[in-house]
Amino acid sequence: MYSRGATFTMDTHYLPLKTEESRKILDQCVKENTLMRERVNKLGWTQCIKEINYHLLHVMLSIDFKSIPLFRYYLKWSRNMIETRNEGTGCLIPCLEAIIAYLHKSLTAPEEKFASRLHAISREILKVPWMEPRTLLEGDAMEKANQYLEILLHGTRSNALNFIMSLLNEKMQIKKIMLDIIQPVQMEIGRLWELNQITTAQEHYATAVSMAAISQFYPIILNDAETDKVLIAGTVGNEIHEIGIRMVADFFEMDGWNTYYLGSAVPIDAFIKEIKVRHGILVAISVTIPLHLYEVKTIISSIRKACPSVKILVGGFPLKVDKELWKKLDADGFALDAAASVKAGNQLVGR
């Protein structure tokens, strides 16, 4: 058995606050719903306002990007978080109804129609009995991945690094180790955290070890060859999830590109400066938290103005959920993983 996480409270420290709006919505919920009154009594007004704020921002995000897939994912994620922390979803429907009713006052006619669709979808999804999402590591093909997962959760960092190097010594290709071992295991780590089966500390530790494991490949994959194929890659704003975009940069490096991986949460002006200084012809930006899509859209707009000839590739979890989002972000393309990113990037720059 894995270690259980804490009682459910939404992690809202990185979110923009709409405190006044959230308080009004919570007031309405408390007046109309017994379960909400009980939740306020249990957690207090401050925490419940933060939770309403979280729901409100996701509803607004779905409306702003006109994305039904993002809303469906948000509902399922919220339900997984709540059900596995013994909270029950009884408060979710009244919260969403109050949020949509509040937003109706400021929405355009098309937005009102879209919000009504979201309301119907929430009722449709939440009336179905909850089932725990299945593991992502099923089948014989995932034997090595499951071994690595077990080491991350119960072994030492040295055990994990040695295991990854043993795969390389067994002639498994670096790309295959990244895509078939490290990537699915990191996704499974995320699933286990979502289901409250590991703690935040365990999730962060596993990710740190996987990044250390990847770094063992650098003496092999880094190249000093002269080329005008220059990639600038990173995440922006408050986005701190970086292992995916690191793998993307590594795959481009293995394809003969000069890559400049800038890390996570890079300020927009610094990102643009590096594009100019390094003479980048392609930019790769990753996003994991859906609410950070606004920041991605902002930096893409800024890059368009400052570096109009540069091609922009986007990726990350929200782009997998809604495969039309890249167009709404005004990117030039998107890819589902590191290998697909290299193919898309070469096509974008005509190589």
9 has a pLDDT exceeding 60:
no
181 has a pLDDT exceeding 80:
yes
CATH placement of domain 223-348: 3.40.50.280
In 3D space, the residue among 221, 323, 331 whose CA is nearest the CA of residue 284 turns out to be 331
Mean pLDDT, residues 154-165: 97
Tell me the C-alpha distance between 331 and 284, whole Å: 10
Pick 85 or 279 by higher pLDDT: 279
Tell me the C-alpha distance between 143 and 166, whole Å: 15
Q: What is the pLDDT of residue 104?
A: 87
Indicate the residue type of 53.
N
Mean pLDDT, residues 140-162: 96
Mean pLDDT, residues 140-164: 96
Q: What is the pLDDT of residue 236?
A: 86
Beta bridge partners of 258: 230
17 has a pLDDT exceeding 70:
no
Assess whether the region 140-218 and the region 223-348 belong to the same CATH fold. Answer: no
> 136: which DSSP letter?
S
Q: Which of 87-91, 136-140, 247-251 has the lowest mean pLDDT?
A: 87-91
CA quadruple 239, 118, 92, 125: dihedral, nearest 10: -100
Enter the tokens of residue 215. Answer: 């770094």
> What's the predicted TM-score (pTM) here?
0.91
What confidence tier does 2 reach under pLDDT thresholds 50, 70, 90?
very low
3 has a pLDDT exceeding 70:
no
Burial of 166 (0-12, 13-18, 19+ CB in 10 A): exposed
Mean pLDDT, residues 86-105: 86
Indicate the residue type of 76.
K
Pick 332 or 140 by higher pLDDT: 332
Residue-wise pLDDT tens digits, 293-341: 999 999 999 999 999 999 999 999 999 999 999 999 999 999 999 999 9
Residue-wise pLDDT tens digits, 201-216: 999 999 999 999 999 9
Mean pLDDT, residues 5-11: 41
Q: What order of strands is seen across the sheet that includes strand 333-334?
A: 258-261, 230-234, 282-286, 311-315, 333-334
Render the burial of 283-303: b for 16+ CB within 10 Å, e for the rest.
Answer: bbbbbbbbbbbbbbbebbeeb
Enter the tokens of residue 75. Answer: 């509902």
10 has a pLDDT exceeding 60:
no
Q: Specify the residue for token string 């400021």.
A: 106
5 has a pLDDT exceeding 80:
no
Pick 125 or 15 by higher pLDDT: 125
Q: 157 and 212 in contact (C-beta within 8 Å)?
A: yes
Strand ranges (E), the chain: 230-234, 258-261, 282-286, 311-315, 333-334
Secondary structure (DSSP) of 296-328: HHHHHHHHHHH-TT-EEEEESHHHHH-TTHHHH
Work out the mean pLDDT of the chain and round it to a whole number. Answer: 91
Q: What is the pLDDT of residue 208?
A: 97
Mean pLDDT, residues 343-350: 96
Whether domain 140-218 has CATH 3.40.50.300: the reply is: no
Spell out the SS3 assignment of 62-76.
HHHCCCHHHHHHHHH
Q: Where are the domains of the chain?
A: 19-126, 140-218, 223-348
Residues making up the chain, counted from first to last? 351
